[in-house]
Homo-oligomer: A and B are copies of this chain.
Amino acid sequence: MSFEKVAIIGLGLQGGSIGLATQEFLPEVQTSGFDLDPATRARAADRGLVHQVCETAAEAVRDADLVIFCVPPGVMGEAALDVRDALRKDALISDVGSCKQSIAAALREALPDHYVIPAHPVAGTENSGPDAGFAHLFRNRWCIVTPPEHTDLVKLSQLVEFWEALGANVEIMDAQHHDLVLAVTSHLPHLIAYTIVGTASDLEDVTQSEVIKYSAGGFRDFTRIAASDPTMWRDVFLTNKEAVLTMLQRFTEDLTALQRAIRVGDGDALFEQFARTRAIRRSIIQEGQDDSRPDFGRGDHENGTKKI
C-alpha cells in the first residue's frame, strides 16, 4: 500500500467503517481520526475506530499522506479549511460524499495547493454515528471515484488501490454524471421514503399506531432509509439540487400517469407497468447488489426469526 498514514475527518458510519476496514485489511497503515463532537471522539476511541483519535483535526492530519473527509456534504469546505495549514504538502485529499460536483468544488477552493480526488462509496446502512461503522461495509459495493481532468494517474491508482483493499469495486466516473446517476439510485429514493413516512404520520383517519402495526404490507421497507441521518440528507438535497429536481420531475410525471390509470380504471396500463419492473430486481440480485432471499432474508436468520 502506498499510504503510510490515513487521516479520517468525521467518525460516523462512513469514517468509522473506513477506519475499521483499514485496520483489518491494511494492518501496516496507520490511522488517525477526528470528529467535531467530543462524545463521538470518546466513543470512537472506545471502539478503536482508528489507532489514534485526536483532539483537533490538525493533529489528526499531521503526517498523513491520505486524508478522507467523512463529514456531511455541506461542511466539507469548512472541514478542509480547518486542516489546511497542518496538511502534508503531498497529502492526497479525498472524501466519501454523495454529491461530487459541489464537494469537489468546495474541497478545491479550500485546498487549492493540494491534490483532490473525490470518491463516493455506494454503501451504507440506515444507522449513523460512531457506533454504526463496521469493517465489511464496503465489501462488494461500488466505490465511484471522480477525478478532475488531468489527474495524476499515480495518485489516482493509489486511491483506487486503497478502496479495492477495503473490499470495494472501483469505477471511475465524471462528477456530473455521478450526480445524475446517484440522484436516481439514491437521492430520489431517500426523498420519496422520507415523504411517505411523513405522509403516513400526519393522517387524521389512520392513527400512527395503525401505520406501525400494519407496516408489513410494504410501508416498513420505506422506513429503513427514512431513518438515515437527517443532517447528511439535508445537505445532499441542497448540494445536488438540480439533478434531484430533474429526477423528481420525471418521477412525478410517471406517478401522475399511474394515478390517471387508476382513476379511469385502465387495468392494462397498470398491469403493463407492474410487469416490467421484475427484471430489474432480478438483475440487481444477479449482480450481487441485493440479497436473493425473499423479504431481504428478514426473519430467515435466527435473531431475525425471534424478532419477527
Which residues of A pack against B, CB within 8 Å?
Answer: 74, 98, 122-127, 132, 136, 139-142, 144, 171, 177, 180-182, 184-203, 205-206, 208, 210-228, 230-231, 233-235, 237-238, 241, 244-245, 247-248, 250-252, 254-255, 258-259, 262-263, 265, 267, 270-271, 273-278, 280-285, 287-301, 303-304, 307-308
Say which residue of B140, B184, B235, B278 sits within 8 Å of A219 (CB atoms): B184
Give A190 to B145 CA distance when docked, in angstroms: 34
Give A53 to B108 CA distance when docked, in angstroms: 70
Could you jot down 11 A-B contacts, CB within 8 Å? A122-B214, A125-B295, A132-B294, A186-B218, A192-B192, A220-B289, A223-B280, A227-B277, A230-B271, A241-B263, A248-B255
Residue contact A126 to B182, C-beta cutoff 8 Å: no
The residues of B that contact A233 with a CB separation of less than 8 Å are 270, 274
The residues of B that contact A296 with a CB separation of less than 8 Å are 224, 291, 296-298
Say which residue of B193, B200, B206, B267 sits within 8 Å of A234 (CB atoms): B267
The residues of B that contact A189 with a CB separation of less than 8 Å are 196, 217-219, 221-222
Say which residue of B185, B244, B262 sits within 8 Å of A211 (CB atoms): B185
Given known A-B contacts A122-B217, A289-B220, A226 and B281 have beta carbons under 8 A apart: yes
Q: Is the interface of A mostly helix, strand, loop or mixed?
A: helix
Given known A-B contacts A275-B230, A294-B126, A308-B290, A184 and B211 have beta carbons under 8 A apart: yes
Residue contact B271 to A234, C-beta cutoff 8 Å: yes
Q: Which A-B residue pairs are the 9 nearest by beta carbons?
A: A186-B217, A230-B274, A125-B294, A189-B218, A227-B281, A296-B296, A223-B281, A197-B277, A226-B277
